[in-house]
Amino acid sequence: MDAITLIVTALAAGSSAGVIPALQDDMKAVAEAAYASLRGLVKKRVADQPGSDLVLAKHDAYPQSWRAPLTMMLTDAGAADDAELVEAARALMELIDAAGTAAGKYNVTISGSRGIHPARLGWGP
């Protein structure tokens, strides 16, 4: 799966129309926090693009209909090379679809990423 598809898929899964409401109570709060973190990172990443708030809001309500505009916006913003954003999407999918994650369904390789220190992701000192 490519990075943009992972991000858009995770946003759709975590939106109000997504799967979080169906999770058990002990996992809902964790998944909601992971979704809020992912959405915040996406919002920050596309903030300089016209209509970004509208596209995100519409994608929350109608993820299938607004998938293409969000995909284009994330692509234009260079989100595929944002390791922090991709990791946040993968982490949310791990909570929502542990079996798919274990099977490698959401594995993404990022090349050419710049400016992300491993410690920001909790991988180093």
pLDDT of the residue at 109: 60
Residue 96 pLDDT > 60, yes or no?
yes
Torsional sign, CA 94, 95, 100, 106: negative
Domain ranges of the chain: 3-121
**Among 54, 28, 34, which residue's Cα sits nearest to residue 43?**
54
The DSSP letter of residue 37 is H
Report the range of poorest mean pLDDT among 3-7, 13-17, 41-45, 115-119. Answer: 115-119
- Between 125 and 9, the higher pLDDT residue: 9
Burial environment of residue 94 by CB neighbours within 10 A (0 to 12, 13 to 18, 19 or more):
middle
**Among 112, 73, 83, 94, which residue's Cα sits nearest to residue 30?**
94
pLDDT in tens, 18-76: 777 677 777 888 888 999 999 999 999 999 999 999 999 999 999 999 999 999 999 99
First to last CA, the chain: 30
